[in-house]
């Protein structure tokens, strides 16, 4: 019974932290306009929320007139735990449509490793963007809606329970896992200073509010 109470207490403390890891990697951080075939882009940025912060970079490449790939690498910092590496990668597909906005679909896989917690997940989202350059030179806006699935597993080491030096309950290592699916809503603004350099800012909701910003270079 004592071991069960200890485990329940630990699990309650880590559940909120593990759920916050849904913000692994940069956010959308882009419009729905596809990269040209063979064009590359690098992005550096950060994402912050109430209990989590991510800083890292993204490399993206246009594979065809509609398809692109990207990969994020960075560090994830969670309150109450050490920092750890975080990875994200995905595909984008531009949707040809006779509408005044650009449309695309993106899918991602992501993972992070923080102390004894392993996090894995994937997301799918539709992205819509528009060019407001006639109003504000270089300005575009973008938004996305989708779903994010997150799964995490943690190993908890339970110490021996001793009274006056007498072990009355031997310790052990317990493994716990949890998963959940959350809606993704995101929106941002992008400013292109020239054909090479641009900056963006974005706010998202995935179980919590996340804010991000960064800069991009077309190569």
* Residue 124's CATH number: 2.40.160.20
Which residue is it, tokens 């849904």? 22
Decide if 10 contacts 156 (C-beta within 8 A): yes
* pTM of the model as a whole: 0.82
The torsion region of residue 3 among left (phi > 0), alpha (psi -120 to 50) and beta comes to alpha
Structural domain total, the chain: 1
Cα separation, 124 vs 48, whole angstroms: 21
Give the CA distances from residue 140 to residues 75, 106, 122, in Å, rounded to whole numbers and listed in that order: 28, 19, 27
Cα separation, 151 vs 65, whole angstroms: 34
Domain with 10 in it: 2-218
How high is the pLDDT of residue 19? Answer: 43
Decide if 148 contacts 126 (C-beta within 8 A): no
Q: Write the CB contacts of 145 (distance below 8 Å, at least 6 apart in sequence).
A: 125, 126, 183, 184, 185, 186
Decide if 153 contacts 176 (C-beta within 8 A): yes
Tens digit of each residue's pLDDT, the chain (219 residues): 444 444 444 444 444 444 444 468 999 999 999 999 999 999 999 999 887 889 999 999 999 999 999 999 999 887 766 788 999 999 999 998 878 899 999 999 999 887 767 788 999 999 999 999 899 999 999 999 999 998 877 766 666 666 766 766 666 676 777 788 989 999 999 999 999 999 999 999 988 899 999 999 999
């Amino acid at each position: 019974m004592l071991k069960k109470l200890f485990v329940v207490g630990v699990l309650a403390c880590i559940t909120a932290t593990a759920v916050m890891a849904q913000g692994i990697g940069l956010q959308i951080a882009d419009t729905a306009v596809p990269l040209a075939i063979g064009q590359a882009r690098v992005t550096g940025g950060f994402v912050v929320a109430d209990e989590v912060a991510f800083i890292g970079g993204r490399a993206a490449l246009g594979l065809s007139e509609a398809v692109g790939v990207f990969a994020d690498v960075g560090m994830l910092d969670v309150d109450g735990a050490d920092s750890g590496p975080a990875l994200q990668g995905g595909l984008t597909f531009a949707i040809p449509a006779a509408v005044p906005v650009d449309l695309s679909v993106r899918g991602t896989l992501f993972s992070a490793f923080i102390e004894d917690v392993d996090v894995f997940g994937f997301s799918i989202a539709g992205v819509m963007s528009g060019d407001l350059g006639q109003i504000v030179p270089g300005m575009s806006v973008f938004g996305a809606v989708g779903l994010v699935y997150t799964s995490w597993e943690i190993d908890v080491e339970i110490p021996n329970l001793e009274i006056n030096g007498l072990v009355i309950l031997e310790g052990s290592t317990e493994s716990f896992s949890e998963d959940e699916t959350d809606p993704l809503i995101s929106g941002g603004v992008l400013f292109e200073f020239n054909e090479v350099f641009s900056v963006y800012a974005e706010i998202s909701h995935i179980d919590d509010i996340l804010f991000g910003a960064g800069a991009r270079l077309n190569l």
